[in-house]
């Protein structure tokens, strides 16, 4: 079950980077939820490769094929199946497991011939070799590849639409690239307009876009890579969602976030920046007849349960481990020292394309908690 996340809803991810296809199965979604395919495809394109100079040049359409779980209709008004030739821009969940695949069409597996027995530093090549006895398909990273975030985004994109109909909106932005910082969310007041503005950006950062892109280009020119941080917010969540201990909202979100390759840390609210209690504790106030907090250092969660304030978290994204510098490794077949310089097409910085992946992970975790609790 290592590639399945399961609670009220479940998500299974399958496939390998250079296999025929990758995909997901999303189960537990109730029948009758409308899915706008144009909105879903626009979301998936924010993650897709080959669209921008700061990303890998590998080009994939990343157009999902739905095998089950969604009946296509032209609009919410249609009660019967569409007539032949009608536009199929919308669909409705049927209550059955939603299964979808994305076909891989632009693989270059020969780029990985030299790495079959020489593990790339920073990758899962060595650990996969040990765990699976050398049988794992590691071309392009195999099942450990960032390519597997595409099906995660299919599931998350569906959950985002379900949440939006319930007044819950999720958005993320680039908080930093290397040492270059951008403006952060106001943790106590995040608006839907802010979130919508981020969804429309090719490079989702409010400030220092030029400097960040230049930093990524410098890394690329040097055959290197650079990491950064991503901040995510969810608004519209009422107080009282979640559970204590092992089922807390932080737990749920963190499990899914760490399914994204290259994520190495997470903090909620002020997190690692917290100082003493007198500065970190958020005073309770009454505003417009509603209990809120004056600040939001807690990030919208106390005791694993939402407070009604914006849910805020930030993640650390490590530099892409595939770099063209010569690095020290070993030959697993001969048990002798070896060197390796990684070939192929790689992102000099994974942060921009990871932004929608973070939104998808948060959406799945939150959707898992609110289905059946908040009406459409």
Q: Given this model, what pLDDT does residue 1 score?
A: 53
Q: Given this model, what pLDDT does residue 52 score?
A: 76
Q: Given this model, what pLDDT does residue 337 score?
A: 95
The Cα-based distances of 74 to 23, 89, 310, 348 in angstroms read: 25, 6, 35, 41
Closest CA to 261 of 353, 362, 134, 139: 353
Closest CA to 336 of 130, 124, 117, 136: 117
Alpha helices in the chain (DSSP H): 37-47, 125-132, 149-164, 192-199, 209-221, 249-257, 277-280, 351-370
In this structure, what is the dihedral angle of CA atoms 371, 7, 366, 30, given to the nearest 10 degrees? -30
Indicate the pTM of the whole model: 0.91
Q: Which residues have C-beta within 8 Å of that of residue 153, sequence separation ≥ 6?
A: 43, 44, 47, 356, 357, 360
For 328, the 3-state DSSP assignment is: strand
CATH of domain 4-370: 3.60.150.10
Q: Given this model, what pLDDT does residue 73 score?
A: 67
Closest CA to 24 of 36, 13, 34: 13
For the record, the structure tokens of 331 come out as: 């030959």
d(CA 235, CA 247): 20
d(CA 26, CA 10): 6
For the record, the structure tokens of 124 come out as: 């899962």
Angle 249-257/351-370 helices, nearest 10 degrees?
Answer: 140
The Cα-based distances of 76 to 64, 81, 82, 89 in angstroms read: 22, 12, 12, 11
Q: What is the pLDDT of residues 214-272, one digit of tens each?
A: 999 999 999 999 999 999 999 999 999 999 999 999 999 999 999 999 999 999 999 88
What is the helix (H) or strand (E) element at residue 294, kind and residue range?
none
- Residues in the chain with pLDDT values less than 50: 75-87
d(CA 271, CA 298): 8
Q: Given this model, what pLDDT does residue 45 score?
A: 93
Q: Given this model, what pLDDT does residue 78 score?
A: 46
Q: Given this model, what pLDDT does residue 83 score?
A: 40
Cβ neighbourhood burial of 255 (10 Å; 0-12, 13-18, 19+): middle
Closest CA to 314 of 106, 136, 172, 166: 172
The Cα-based distances of 274 to 137, 180, 232, 277, 334 in angstroms read: 43, 21, 18, 8, 49
The Cα-based distances of 112 to 97, 341, 343 in angstroms read: 35, 11, 7
Q: Given this model, what pLDDT does residue 142 score?
A: 78
For the record, the structure tokens of 267 come out as: 């903090």
Angle 37-47/351-370 helices, nearest 10 degrees?
Answer: 140
């Amino acid at each position: 079950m290592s590639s399945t996340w399961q609670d009220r809803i479940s998500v299974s991810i399958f496939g390998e980077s250079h296999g025929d296809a990758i995909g997901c199965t999303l189960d537990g979604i109730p029948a009758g939820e409308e899915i706008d395919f144009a909105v879903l495809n626009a979301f998936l394109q924010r993650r897709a490769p080959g669209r921008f100079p700061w990303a890998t040049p590998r080009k994939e359409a990343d157009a999902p094929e739905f095998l089950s779980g969604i009946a296509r209709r032209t609009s919410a008004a249609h009660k019967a199946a569409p007539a032949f030739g009608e536009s199929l821009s919308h669909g409705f969940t049927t209550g059955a497991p939603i299964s979808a695949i994305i076909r891989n069409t632009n693989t270059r597996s020969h780029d990985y011939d030299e790495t079959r027995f020489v593990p790339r530093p920073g990758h899962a090549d060595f650990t996969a070799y040990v765990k699976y006895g050398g049988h794992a398909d590691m071309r392009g990273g195999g099942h450990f590849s960032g390519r597997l975030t595409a099906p995660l985004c299919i599931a998350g994109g569906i959950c985002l639409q379900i949440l939006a109909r319930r007044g819950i909106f999720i958005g993320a932005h680039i908080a930093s690239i290397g040492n270059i910082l951008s403006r952060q969310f106001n943790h106590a007041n995040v608006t839907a307009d802010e979130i919508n503005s981020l969804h429309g950006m090719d490079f989702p950062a409010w400030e220092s876009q030029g400097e960040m892109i230049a930093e990524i280009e410098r890394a690329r020119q040097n055959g290197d890579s650079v990491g950064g941080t991503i901040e995510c917010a969810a608004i519209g969540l009422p107080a009282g969602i979640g559970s204590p201990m092992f089922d807390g909202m932080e737990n749920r979100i963190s499990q899914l976030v760490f399914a994204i390759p290259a994520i190495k840390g997470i903090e909620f609210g002020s997190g690692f920046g917290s100082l003493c209690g007198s500065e970190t504790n958020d005073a309770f106030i009454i505003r417009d007849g509603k209990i809120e907090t004056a600040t939001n250092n807690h990030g919208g969660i106390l005791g694993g349960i939402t407070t009604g304030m914006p849910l805020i978290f930030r993640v650390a994204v490590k530099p892409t481990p595939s770099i063209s510098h010569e690095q020290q490794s070993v030959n697993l077949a001969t048990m002798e020292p070896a060197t390796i310089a990684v070939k192929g097409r790689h992102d000099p910085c994974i942060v921009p394309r990871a932004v929608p992946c973070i939104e998808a992970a948060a959406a799945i975790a939150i959707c898992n908690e609110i289905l059946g609790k908040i009406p459409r």
